[in-house]
Structure 1
Amino acid sequence: MTRYRVEQLAHKYMNHDMIALHTELPDFPDGRIRLLYAVLGQQPAAASDKELLSLVTSLIQVGLDTHDMVDNRSAESGGGMPAMRSQQLKVLAGDYFSGRFYHLLSQAGHIDAIRRLSEAVSELNRIKMTLYLKTIRRELDPEQYVKYGTDLKSGLFLSFTGFMHGLYERVWPELIERFSRCEVLLQELRKADNPCPPGGNWVFWHIWQEGTEEERRQLTDRREDIGMIRHLLDKYEVKDKLAALLHQSAAQLQGLLGRLQSDKLTRELQPLIEPFLAAGGTRPAAALKELG
């Protein structure tokens, strides 16, 4: 089996004409799934089930991410029936993807995996509610924002710590947390030109924390002012600081790979972190020092 096999299996459940015609789906969590699949392959008690466990985890993650794409404002703001249908299909598709995991695992008799993943989903919903409340109350700082994003990406995968043994039981939580953090920072770097999306992003919270009261007002009242946005991006050097954070996290992730006891596994995982290393690049030490 190749590393792409899990994604191929998942798309058998995800490819529906109705969904393709009327809505869109989130990106497949390729990196985290490949990471999980590779590490499970090193566990004697889980190696034979690594394909199934990776498949159901991908379906749950896609289901959760699909629900996160639901935006009732698009229908309320004049999108009409197409927009409403798209939102409804996101809800139904998310429920369907998430529900398939129970069916697949129960058929295979994996009751413990059902329990662990169900508990993880419950905890993720709690985190989302906390994040939502902090967002609307403007109680976040940029590091907290990254931490919440990291928790939401890593939560399902952390539930597999109980399947790990020896060194992997100790390394896995840090490995999936650091990998997820790199994913969050890379996403934030790619959307750094827009500091004012609904709910904010790292750039928004960084300027909100570091900026003046007038600049905070501009973030909320003049979000369409391209000139003002560019001024703030340049003033606070947000791209350099984000890249520096990514560089730091990617270097820590690289160090974790060095602790693994399998050269074969290390070689298999190295390509997964190359995009983080490349995007982080070599940044001035001053950018990291300023961020603390």
Structure 2
Amino acid sequence: MTAIYTNNEELKNIYDSFYLHVNHPYLNKYIKNPEIDEDQAEVLLLMLKEKDLSVTFIHDCILTTMLVQAALDIHETVDTHELGTSKLKTKRQLSVLGGDYYSSLYYYVLSKLENSSLIRAFARSIQEINESKMNIYKQHKKNAQPSLNDLKKIYSSVHINIAELLDLNDWSEGLEQFFLLKSLLKERFDLIESGKTGIIAQSLHQIMGNSLVKSETKPDTINYLNSYIALTDSNLKHFNWRNEEIQKIFQKRTTNLLLKYQLSEQCVVEEG
């Protein structure tokens, strides 16, 4: 979205602020700096620009979103298995502390805004994301298919709740489909390139009775992901955004995502 979005300097300032906040010399020795999802930031900026909001509010709202995501992401990396070496144990403990540290940062940023409605929107989002993750993990235990609604909430709950706060409810379905499509494409690409499984693929392995990726189940998993991708892409293409400019922005970004993850070429390879 960066290539077609005009507020690059504004976003750069927010990104710089994010890395300034998360920088911690001791944590940096053991865990990587969190990555920024530029689509999350740019879509949120697009939403906020629809309203007459201060530069400070826009900056802190996007910064908080990135800190929330950083906290959620790092907690997802914590290994729950027994770890033998003291170095690995230290890394696990610091990953937990790192997530808590990022959480404290977004609470701090939100407190400066003194906007109770925004605080409630973030609190509701975090609750929904964690509840959806727990629902999916419970489905894993039952060898059952995860709920598509739970997957959507994991990927787009923050944006949906902020859209509601901004009275942009007509964006909700489009936001759900966009972020779900992006996550599906990335997960499928990672599975093909490195065998890495995301939350959807892990669920599919459970359905097929496999807790790990195996050569005989990988094509089935990819085909299942393909069906999700095709459906989500179709839904997004038929969604009407509130004006032509926004429609073009999302259409172009969707096209770029499909090219980035080489969907068409990979589909031909798998089907062949």
Is the 8 Å Cα contact of residues 19 and 89 (structure 1) preserved in structure 2?
Answer: yes
Distance 1:272 1:83, change over 3 A: farther
Q: Which residue of 2 aligns with 1:260?
A: 242
Bigger mean CA deviation after superposition, 98-107 or 19-28: 19-28
Q: How many residues align?
A: 257
Q: Which residue of 2 aligns with 1:95?
A: 100
Matches within 5 A, 1:1-292: 1-2=7-8, 3-45=11-53, 49-73=57-81, 76-78=82-84, 80-138=85-143, 140-141=144-145, 144=146, 147-165=149-167, 168-170=168-170, 172-193=171-192, 201-203=199-201, 205-206=203-204, 209=207, 216=209, 219-220=210-211, 223=212, 229-234=214-219, 236=220, 238-256=221-239, 259-263=241-245, 265-278=246-259, 279=261, 280-281=263-264
Is the 8 Å Cα contact of residues 10 and 59 (structure 1) preserved in structure 2?
Answer: yes
RMSD: 3.0
- Kindly name which structure, 1 or 2, has the bigger radius of gyration based on alpha carbons: 1
Structure 2's unaligned 5+ residue stretches are 1-6
Percent of paired sites with the same residue = 18
Is the 8 Å Cα contact of residues 186 and 246 (structure 1) preserved in structure 2?
Answer: yes
Q: Deviations over 1:176-231 (max 9, x none)?
A: 2112211221132023247795xx7544544654x5xxxx3xx34xx48xxxx323
Distance 1:36 1:208, change over 3 A: same
Distance 1:275 1:17, change over 3 A: farther
Q: Deviations over 1:62-99 (max 9, x none)?
A: 111111111132xx232x12111111111111112112
TM-score (norm 1): 0.75
Distance 1:8 1:274, change over 3 A: farther
Distance 1:109 1:87, change over 3 A: same
Is the 8 Å Cα contact of residues 179 and 253 (structure 1) preserved in structure 2?
Answer: yes
In the TM superposition, what is the alpha-carbon distance from 1:114 to its structure 2 partner?
Answer: 0.9
What letter is aligned with 1:13? H
Bigger mean CA deviation after superposition, 25-34 or 115-124: 25-34
Q: Deviations over 1:96-146 (max 9, x none)?
A: 2112222222222212111221122122222222222221232x22xx265
Distance 1:91 1:159, change over 3 A: same
Structure 1's unaligned 5+ residue stretches are 288-292
What letter is aligned with 1:169? N
Give the Cα separation in 2 of the matches to 1:191 and 1:146.
20
In the TM superposition, what is the alpha-carbon distance from 1:58 to its structure 2 partner?
Answer: 0.9
1:35 counterpart SS class: helix
